Amino acid sequence: MHGWLLLLPAAVLLVTFTHYPTVATLYHSFFSTSKPGRPTAWIGLDNYRNMVEDPVFWQVLANNLWYALATIPLSIALAILMAVWVNGKIPGRGLLRLSFFTPTVLPMIAVANIWLFFYTPGYGLLEQVTGLFGLPSHNWLGSRNTALGCLVIVTVWKEAGFFMIFYLAALQSISPHLTEAASLMGAGRWYFFRRVTFPLLMPTTLFVLVNAVINSFRLVDHIVVMTKGGPDNTTALLLYYIYDVGFKFWDSGYAAALTLVLLVILAAFAMGQFLFLDRRVHYQ
Amino acid sequence: MTRTFTALETAGAWVLGFLWALPLAYAVWTAFHPSEFSTHFVPTAPLSLENFVKAWAAAPFARYFVNTIVLVTMILAAQLVLCTMAAYAFARFTFRGREIAFLLVLVQLMIMPDVLIVENYRTMSRLGILDSLLAIGLPYMASAFGIFLLRQTFKTVPKELDEAARVEGAGPLEILWKVYVPLARPVYIAYALVSVSYHWNNFLWPLIVTNSVNSRPLTVGLQVFSSGDQGVDWSIITAATLMTSGPLLIAFLLFQRQFVQSFMRAGIR
The domains of chain A, with CATH numbers, are 55-280 (1.10.3720.10)
Are B17 and B76 found together in one domain? no
CB-closest option in A6, A18, A117 to B234:
A117
B212 DSSP 8-state letter: S
Give me the number of domains chain B comprises.
Answer: 2
The pLDDT value recorded for residue B269 is 42
* Nearest-neighbour CA in chain B from A77: distance (Å): 13
pLDDT at B229: 61
Is residue A91 within 8 A of residue B6, CB to CB? The reply is: no
pTM (2 d.p.): 0.90
Give the model's pLDDT for residue A279: 55
Q: What percent of chain B has pLDDT over 90?
A: 44
Q: At what angle do helices A108-119 and B218-226 cross, to 10 degrees?
A: 20
Q: Which domain holds residue B173?
A: 60-267
CB contact under 8 A, B201 and A269: no
Query: Does residue B64 share a domain with residue B47?
Result: no
Q: Do B241 and B133 reside in the same domain of the chain? A: yes
Residue B198 predicted with pLDDT over 60? yes
Q: Is the ipTM of this complex over 0.85?
A: yes
- For the four alpha carbons of B119, B123, B128 and B131, in that order, the dihedral sign comes to negative
Q: Are residues B136 and B251 in the same domain?
A: yes
In the predicted model, what is the mean pLDDT of residues B201-217?
Answer: 93
Q: Does B245 touch chain A (CB under 8 A)?
A: yes
Q: Are residues B107 and B33 in the same domain?
A: no
Q: Are residues B117 and B234 in the same domain?
A: yes
| CA dist., res. B208 & res. B221, Å (int) | 12
Local confidence pLDDT in tens for the 284 residues of chain A = 678 899 999 999 999 999 999 999 999 999 988 887 788 888 888 899 999 999 999 999 999 999 999 999 999 999 999 998 888 888 888 899 889 988 988 889 988 988 988 888 777 778 878 878 878 778 888 888 889 999 999 999 999 998 998 898 888 888 778 877 877 787 777 888 888 888 888 888 888 888 899 889 999 999 998 999 878 899 999 999 999 999 998 999 999 999 999 999 998 888 877 776 555 554 43
**Sign of torsion over alpha carbons B173, B179, B184, B188:** positive
Q: A214: which residues sit within 8 A by CB, 6+ positions away? A: A266, A269, B110, B112
CA of B80 vs chain A CAs: smallest distance (Å): 11
Tens of pLDDT, residues B48-74: 888 898 889 888 999 999 999 999 999
- Residues 6 or more apart whose CB falls under 8 angstroms from that of A71 comprise A152, A155, A156, A159, A212, A216
B104-132 pLDDT, tens digit each = 998 888 888 999 999 999 999 999 999 99
Q: What is the CATH number of the domain that holds B263?
A: 1.10.3720.10
* Interchain CB contact of B119 with A (< 8 Å): yes
Predicted pLDDT at B110: 85
- For residues B37-55, give the mean pLDDT: 79
Give dist(CA A144, CA A235) in Å, integer.
8
Residue B35 carries which side chain, given as an amino acid letter?
S
B31 in the same domain as B101: no
CB contact under 8 Å between B142 and A17, yes or no, is yes
Q: B16: which chain A residues are within 8 Å (Cβ-Cβ)?
A: 78, 81-82, 100
